[in-house]
Structure 1
Amino acid sequence: MKFRAKMVDVSCLNHFTCVVNTISKLTKTCMLRLTAGHLYFMLSDKVANGGVGMWCELSQGNFFDEFQLEGVSAEANEIYLELVPENLFRALKTAYNARSLKIKLTKKHCPCITVAVELPSLSSVNRIVTHDIPVQVIPRRLWQDFKEPSVPDFDVSIYLPSLKIMKNVVDRMKNLSNFLVLEANQNGEMNLKIETDLVSVTTHFKGLGNPPWGDENSQGPGRDRNPETMAEARVDIRKLQQFLAGQQVNPTKAMCNIVSNRIVHFILLHEDVSLQYFIPTVA
C-alpha cells in the first residue's frame, strides 16, 4: 500500500483544515477511506444503540495538486485507516500560510500518516515541520462495516435555518433539559421544543422551504401526508449541540430529514464537500 499527496494552494489547504476541524469536533476517532478520486471520513457507531453516525465525502481533485494511491490490491484500490482527527487537525494548523503540504502513509514504529509542512523562510533553506500521526490499517475483511449510509425513508425533509442562529437557540435550551424535540412539516415550518414539568419553550421557524426530492412521479416525503402535519424526533440535546458547534464548513445548503420517532438525518453541502450526520431519537 502506498499513499502520498501534495497541496500547494493556500485556500484549498485552509478549507481542508476547516473540514478536518469539523470532523474532530464531531468524533474522537473515525475511519479515513482513501480512493483514487475521493477521501471519506466515516463514523459508524451503532445508531440503533444510541450512537451517532457520520459520513463526510471530499473530492480529492478539488484539494490536492498531486495525489497517488496504491491500494491493497489492483481490484481493491482503496485504503482504510482509523485515526484520531484531532491529531490531524493539530498538524494542519501548523500549515497556515505554508508554501506546500505533503501527506503520505509511512511505517515508523507503527503505521502513520506523515504530514510534512514547508514553511516560508527568510533564508534560502526551507523550513520543514513533520508530524507523524499514528493510524491503524483496517483489513479488507472489515470494509463492509463502513458502507455509505442510505438516505432513510423519511417523513419530512426541510431546509435548515442559519446554523449559527440554530446553535444559539440550542445553547440556551440545553440549560433547561437534556432532551429536545425537533419537529417539521412539508410547509417549511420547523420547531425546536423543550418540555419539562417546570417549563415549556418552543422556537418557531417558518418559510424554510422543502428540498425537491425526486421528480413528481417519485414517492418522496409528503406524497401521502398532510403538508401541515409535523414529523417529530426527540433527541439528546448534547448530540445536537455538538453537531452545531462543530461546523466550520459553511455549507451552501443545509437540510434535515426526519423519520418520526426514529432518527434525524442532517445533510450539509458545499461545492466540494458533503457531510451527513445521523442522530437517533430517544424515548
Structure 2
Amino acid sequence: MKFRGKMAEYHCIRKFYAIISSIAKIAKTCVMRLTVDKMYLIMSELNNVVGGPAVWGEIDQENFFNEYNIEGVTPEHNEIYLEFSPDKMFKTLTSLKSPSVKGLKMKLTKKNSIPCLTFEVDLPSIVESRLCVHDIPVQVVPRRCWSEYEAPILPPVHVSLCLPDLKVMKRMIEKYRILGSTVAIAGRRDGSLSLKVESDEVVVASHFKNLRIPVSRSNQMPWIMLEGAGVDSATVRVDLKRLNQFLCSEQLVPERSIANIVDNEILHIMIVTHDLALQFFLPRTSKN
C-alpha cells in the first residue's frame, strides 16, 4: 500500500485543517478511506438507527490536492482504510494555522514498525524554507472489516428543509443546553422549523419560517422523500450535546445546510460546499 498527496494552495490547506478541527469535536476515532477519486472521513462510534457510520464525509481530492497517488490493498480493491484520532491530528498539526504555510505533503509511512500518516509542512524562514514533519500513528483497517464503513442508507424522509445560519443555531443550542439535555425538532413542508426544550421549570421554543425547500432530483440526493397524503410534518427528539457537536461544522462556511427529519426516528443534517459534503445521522433519544 502506498499513498502520497500534496496541497500547494493555502486556502485548501486551511480548509483541510478546519475539517480536522470539526471532526475532532465530534468523535474520538475516525476512519479515513482513501480511493482514487475521493477521501472519505467516517465516524462510527455512535450507534444510530440507520446502522453504519454516524458521520460520513466526502472530499473531492481534485479540489484539494495538486498531487494525489494511491496504491491500494490490491489492484481490484484499490483503496486504503486508516483509523486515527482526530483530536491528536488536530493538536499535532498546529503549524497549519500559520498564514505563511507554503505547502503540505501527506504520505503513508512506517516509523519503528508503526504505520503513520506523515505530514510535511513547508514553512518559510529567513534564509530558506524549513520543513516541519509530523508523524500521526494510524491503524490500517483490514479488508474483512471494510463492510463496517459502507455508506449509510437513510430511511425515506418526511420533511426536508434548508437550515438557517448555522452560527445562529449553534448559539441557540448552546443556550438550550443550560435548560435540558434534549431538544425536539419539528419541521413542516411549508418551510417552518421549530426547536423546543422542556424542563420542570420552563418550556422554551424557537421558530423559523419561510425556509427554503431543497429541490430533490433523482440520483443527486442521498435520500428519498416519503410521498403520500398527510405527510406534511415530522418531529424527532435528539441529544442536545451531540447536535451542538455537529453544528461545529459551521466553521467550514457551508454553501448549503440541509435538515432531513424522519418522524420520531432520526435527524439527518447535510453540510455542503463545492468540494466537501458532510452528513450527520442523529438518532432519536429516549431521554427526557
TM-score (ref. length: structure 2): 0.91
Q: Match of 1:7?
A: 7
RMSD: 2.0
For residue 151 of structure 1, report the CA deviation from its aligned partner. 3.2
User: Within 5 Å, which residues of 2 pair with 1:2-81?
Assistant: 2-44=2-44, 45-48=46-49, 53-81=54-82
Asked if residue 135 in structure 1 is aligned to residue 175 in structure 2, the reply is: no
Does the CA-based 8 Å contact 1:25-1:246 persist in structure 2? Answer: no
The number of aligned residues is 278
For residue 195 of structure 1, report the CA deviation from its aligned partner. 1.9
Amino acid at match of 2:101: A
Asked if residue 114 in structure 1 is aligned to residue 115 in structure 2, the reply is: no
Deviations 1:211-247 (A, max 9, x none): 12236xxx953632447x4310011111111111343
For the residue of structure 1 that corresponds to 2:20, the secondary structure is helix
Amino acid at match of 1:77: N
**Distance (whole Å) between structure 2 residues aligned to residue 231 and residue 48 of structure 1:** 17
Amino acid at match of 1:69: I
**Distance (whole Å) between structure 2 residues aligned to residue 49 and residue 149 of structure 1:** 7
Deviates more, 1:10-19 or 1:83-92: 83-92
**Distance (whole Å) between structure 1 residues aligned to residue 145 and residue 225 of structure 2:** 34
Q: Match of 2:193?
A: 190
TM-score (ref. length: structure 1): 0.93
Deviations 1:125-183 (A, max 9, x none): x3111101000000001101100112331111111111011111111111111111001
Amino acid at match of 2:40: Y
For residue 57 of structure 1, report the CA deviation from its aligned partner. 0.3
For the residue of structure 2 that corresponds to 1:248, the secondary structure is helix
Closer/same/farther in 2, CA of residues 230 and 140 from structure 1, 3 Å limit? same
Does the CA-based 8 Å contact 1:32-1:41 persist in structure 2? Answer: yes
Q: Match of 1:90?
A: 91
**Distance (whole Å) between structure 1 residues aligned to residue 15 and residue 249 of structure 2:** 14
Closer/same/farther in 2, CA of residues 49 and 183 from structure 1, 3 Å limit? same
Does the CA-based 8 Å contact 1:26-1:246 persist in structure 2? Answer: no
For the residue of structure 2 that corresponds to 1:94, the secondary structure is helix
Q: Match of 2:277?
A: 274
For residue 48 of structure 1, report the CA deviation from its aligned partner. 3.4
**Distance (whole Å) between structure 2 residues aligned to residue 182 and residue 50 of structure 1:** 21
In the TM superposition, structure 1's runs of 4+ consecutive aligned residues that sit over 3 Å from their partners are 48-52, 219-223
For the residue of structure 1 that corresponds to 2:264, the secondary structure is coil
Deviates more, 1:44-53 or 1:5-14: 44-53
For the residue of structure 2 that corresponds to 1:47, the secondary structure is coil
Question: Which consecutive residues of structure 2, in runs of 5 or more, have no partner in the other structure?
Answer: none
Asked if residue 259 in structure 1 is aligned to residue 244 in structure 2, the reply is: no
Asked if residue 148 in structure 1 is aligned to residue 151 in structure 2, the reply is: yes
For the residue of structure 1 that corresponds to 2:250, the secondary structure is coil
Does the CA-based 8 Å contact 1:192-1:204 persist in structure 2? Answer: yes
For residue 86 of structure 1, report the CA deviation from its aligned partner. 2.0
**Distance (whole Å) between structure 1 residues aligned to residue 281 and residue 178 of structure 2:** 23
Deviations 1:61-111 (A, max 9, x none): 101111110000000010000001122223433032222111100011210
